[in-house]
Amino acid sequence: MNRCIIHIDADCFFAAVEMRDRPHLAHRPLAIGGSASKRGVISTCNYPARKFGVRSAMATAFALRLCPGLMLLPHRMLLYRQVSEQMMAIFHDFTDLVEPLSLDEAFLDVSACCASLQDATAVAEQIRARVNRELGITVSAGIAANKFLAKVASDWHKPDGLFVVAREAESKFLAELPVRCIPGVGKVTSDQLQFMGVIKCEDLHRYSQCELESRFGRFGARLFAFSRGKDDRAVKVSRERKSISVEQTYSRDILTLTECESALPELWQRLSVRLAKAPAIAQIKKGFVKIKFSDFSQTTLERGGDQWSVEDFRGLLALAYARGNGQVRLMGLGVRLAPAAPQVEQIALL
């Protein structure tokens, strides 16, 4: 299919909204997150802060050690949601095929109104200009023939950038693309690939799909396809999310339940940030704790309930911990979401 896909990603979204409303903070290292005294986590930070090594999902206490002058602000989720809705409304002025990935990014399929990627680039520029003019923040855009390449491209010239992966340039672009840019390739997978001698996408071409699947399971098929620039996923206007969760693999095994409980507030803080980004209609029906032990056995324990706190998870954690060998290498928290209520259309009587 002759698709034209745009991926748009707001630049340091939460921090950008705060800098828009408080211009005097624009050049100061700034982060949005939880308090260090409560084991808070950074959800986003501006680019001056990133120069000090501050990153999202980093413990606030560690971020403050890296950047002692860091300005830490609490979340204003109601405002961020409002700005996100305004941004998505701008996207919908150009196409009905909009797939939000979070509050600050989305895929747009503009194939119906664009005969070429050049036309799609002009649309992306119009969108970027409108977002900047009407909302006072900047977004970066990637344009390509599929979702994978568009998402990679949007990160290429951040912040406030635009990058196009032309169809005739895909092979050259992928040849030099680091495999860590493939969505889903984290540190563990990256280390495994490096051990195999795979640094760039073209290095994956030495391996068949069968070989990659034998090493990485179903993810091997994605590695095989993406490294060749193949991605036939359509832009989905709506999709139902079944759960929201966070997890952490520890550099050394946690040996006691008390240590596990000490790590709980940080996981809860990260989960709270993700829950705040969930659609307003999302309804929680269960909470769960996941533990992977040193022998790689794992257990997940869940319980019904629509209201959850760190203390509620503490009870589940103790029960899950008792199921294993006492040496924990990974912990996770999450919630299950109730299916969305079906939309019922009233039939007219006349």
Query: In this structure, what CATH number is given to the domain that contains residue 319?
Result: 3.30.1490.100
Residue 304 has φ and ψ, to the nearest 5°, of -70, 155
pLDDT of residue 41: 86
Active-site hit among 105, 247, 302, 311: 105
Contacts of 342 (CB under 8 A, 6+ apart): none
105 is known as an active-site residue: yes
Whole-angstrom Cα distance, residue 291 to residue 248? 10
**350: pLDDT strictly greater than 70:** no
Answer yes or no: do 206 and 272 share one domain.
no
For residue 322, being part of any structural domain is answered with yes
pLDDT of residue 1: 59
Q: Among 76, 94, 128, identify where a domain stops.
A: 76
Whole-angstrom Cα distance, residue 83 to residue 226? 33
pTM, two decimals, is: 0.71
For residue 216, being part of any structural domain is answered with yes
For residue 259, being part of any structural domain is answered with yes
Annotated binding site: 9, 104
Answer yes or no: do 287 and 327 share one domain.
yes
Answer yes or no: do 253 and 207 share one domain.
no
Outline where the chain has alpha helix (H). 13-21, 47-50, 60-66, 77-92, 117-135, 147-154, 170-175, 187-195, 209-216, 219-226, 257-277, 310-321
The boundaries of the domain holding residue 203 are 173-226
In the predicted model, what is the mean pLDDT of residues 324-344? Answer: 78
In the predicted model, what is the mean pLDDT of residues 63-87? Answer: 93
pLDDT of residue 344: 46
Please provide the average confidence, as pLDDT, over all residues in the chain: 88
For residue 221, being part of any structural domain is answered with yes
